[in-house]
Amino acid sequence: MVRKRKDITQINSKLTSRRMRSATLGTHVPKARPAHMNADQVGFSSPRRQKRAQRGYVSNVMPGATGPRSGGGYAGRLEFSPGQKRRTWGRRVGVAVAVVALLAAVAYGVWSFTLTGNLNDKLALKNSDAASALVAAKSGDPFYTLVVAELDTPGMPNSADGPDALALVRTDASGKNATIVSIPCDVQVSLKDGKYYPLREASVRESDASLVSAVANFADVSIAHVVKIDAAGLTQLVDVLGGVDVTLPEEVDDPAAGSVYLPAGQQTLTGEGAVTLARATNFQQPRQTQAENQQLLLTAVAQRLVASGKSGLVGLLDQLNGAFQTDMSSNDALSLAESLKGLTPDAVQCGLVPGYVTQSDGQDVYAVSNSSWSTMMDRVDAGQAPAEAQQAATTDPGSFSITVRNGGGITGAAASMQQTLMSKGFNVAETGNTDTSVYNETLVIYNASDTEPAAQTVLNAMGVGRLVQNSGSYTFNTDVLVILGKDWKPAA
C-alpha cells in the first residue's frame, strides 16, 4: 500500500523546526532567534553550568539514561585511574611542602636579619675612631688585631688614664694558630706634636685611631682589627663563658689588684678572678709575670669563644650584651670562630716586647731593646715563635763567688737576698749598698764570657733581673755582682 505524503503546511513546518532546535545543543545550527537557545530546556547539575550553556559554552552534558549510560555511570567512567590519583596527590603534597619550606626560609631570613642587626649593635665600637686607622688584610692571609684593655677603675691606687694592657695578636685562621705579643703601655712613642709620650697616652691626648697607628708604627705591621674591653666587660665575658681554665706558674696575692686570692696551679677563674689576674703586678718579675698571666687569660678566653665554632658563638654574643667592642661585624666574627674551631693552647705562642723598666722625669718607662724587638717581629710576621728557644748554660752554684749590693734603697734587701742565695747553695762573699739608690731594675753582672754561665745560674735562682756583661762600669772582686733594683721584692 502506498502511503501518501502529507502535505507540508505552514503549521507542520514550524512544528518540525521547533523539534529540531529542541534536539540540538551548541551554536553551530542556525538559529532563528539566538536569544532563545535550548539550554533552558536541558537539565544541568548547577545553575552556573546552565548559565554558561545559555551563553553558548557547554563542556559536557550528563546523559539522562539509566543503567551504564546513566549520569552516575558516565561520571564513574570520567574518574581518574589510581595512578593518576597518586600523581595528583603527590603533586599536591609537593606543593604544600614547598610552600611550608618557603615560609620557613622567609621566617629564618627575617630572624637571621634581626639577630645579625642586634649582634652588630652590641659589638660595634662606640665613641671611637679606631676603625679609620685599620688596614684590611687580604682574604685568607694572617692578620693583626690590637686588643686594648682598660682594667683600672676610678679611685684605684696608681691608676692612669688610657689602656692598662695592650696585646698585638697575629691570627692565622688557615693554620689555626695565633701569636700574642704583649706591649707595655709605658713604651715611649712619638705623637703628632713630635714629642714622646707613654703609648697609653696616644688615645688620651689624641684618639683611638692615634693609638692604633702608634702601635702599627712601633711594630711595623698593618693592623686589621681592634678589640676594646674594660674590667666590667671582662668580668661579664668570663662569667658568661662559665669561667676559664688556666694554670698559674705562681700564686697571685695582690690586694691592689683585687680581693681574690689565686693559688699557683690549675684552676677555673671567675670573672672577678680574671680581672684580678690581669691587674696583678706583685711578683718578683712584675712586667714579665703580668704579661705572661695576661697572655694565659687571653688564650683561655679565645679558646672558649671559638670552641664550638659559629654555632656556639652566636648564643654567647647575644648573651654578652656588649661586653667588648670591635670593628668586626658579627658575620666576620662568626666566620673567624668557625675557622678557629678547636683551637688548642699549644697553637698559641706568646712574647713580650724585649726591654726593661727605667725612669724618666720621675715616671717608670719601658725602655725597648730595639734590635731584639725588630728581630722578634720578623719572627712573628713569619709565623714563628716570638723568641728563639735557647738553653742557657749554667754551672754548680757553689763553684763561684757572688757580691750582692742594694741599689734600690729597699731596707734589708742585700741581706735578704744573701740568705735566699745561700739557702740554694750559692757562695755569697760580700754584701752592701751601691753609692746611690737609683737602680730601678735588678742586674746580674759578669766580667768575662767564661763566667756568664755562673751569672745565668744566679739569674735563674733569683727569678728577677737582667744579665749584663761588664764593660768597665762596675767594680767587684767576685765572679758575679748582683745589684738589686726597685723591681725586686722580698719573698713572702
pLDDT tens sequence for the chain (492 residues):
455 555 556 666 666 666 666 555 544 445 545 555 555 555 655 666 666 666 555 555 455 555 555 555 555 555 555 655 556 666 767 677 777 777 666 665 554 545 466 888 888 999 999 999 999 999 999 999 999 999 998 778 777 889 999 999 999 999 999 999 999 999 999 999 999 999 999 999 999 999 999 999 999 999 999 999 999 999 999 999 999 999 998 899 999 999 999 998 889 999 999 999 999 998 878 888 999 999 999 999 999 999 888 888 888 888 888 899 999 998 899 899 999 998 888 899 999 998 888 877 878 889 888 888 999 999 999 999 998 766 667 889 999 999 999 999 999 999 999 999 999 999 999 999 999 888 888 999 999 888 999 999 999 898 888 898 898 889 999 999 999 998 888 765
Among candidates 274, 234, 242, 241, which has minimal Cα distance to 258? 274
- At 460, phi and psi to the nearest 5? -65, -40
Residue 445: what residue type?
A: I
Q: What is the pLDDT of residue 197?
A: 93
Those residues with Cβ within 8 angstroms of residue 107's Cβ, 6 or more apart along the chain or in another chain: none
Q: What is the pLDDT of residue 111?
A: 46
CA 407 to chain centre: 46
Q: What is the pLDDT of residue 164?
A: 94
Those residues with Cβ within 8 angstroms of residue 256's Cβ, 6 or more apart along the chain or in another chain: 156, 157, 158, 279, 281, 282
Calpha distance 475→478 (Å, rounded): 9
Q: What is the pLDDT of residue 372?
A: 86
Calpha distance 197→189 (Å, rounded): 6
Calpha distance 319→305 (Å, rounded): 12
Q: DSSP 3-state assignment of 460?
A: helix
Note the pLDDT tens digit of each residue in 107-161: 655 545 454 668 888 889 999 999 999 999 999 999 999 999 999 987 787 778 8
In order of their start, the domains of the chain are 1-62 (no CATH), 130-381 (3.40.630.190), 397-484 (3.30.70.2390)
Could you tell me where the DSSP H helices lie in 307-357? 309-320, 330-339
- At 165, phi and psi to the nearest 5? -150, 135
Those residues with Cβ within 8 angstroms of residue 251's Cβ, 6 or more apart along the chain or in another chain: 261, 262, 263, 264
Calpha distance 483→467 (Å, rounded): 11
Q: What is the pLDDT of residue 191?
A: 94
Residue 304 in contact with residue 340, Cβ under 8 Å?
no
Q: What is the pLDDT of residue 192?
A: 92
Calpha distance 293→299 (Å, rounded): 10
Calpha distance 21→16 (Å, rounded): 9
Could you tell me where the DSSP H helices lie in 151-252? 201-205, 208-219, 231-240
Calpha distance 36→43 (Å, rounded): 16
Please state whether 449 falls in left (phi above 0), alpha (psi between -120 and 50) or beta: alpha
Q: How far apart are the first and last CA of the chain?
A: 151
| CA separation, residue 135 to residues 62, 144, 164, 216, 223 (Å) | 81, 10, 24, 10, 6
Q: What is the pLDDT of residue 50?
A: 66
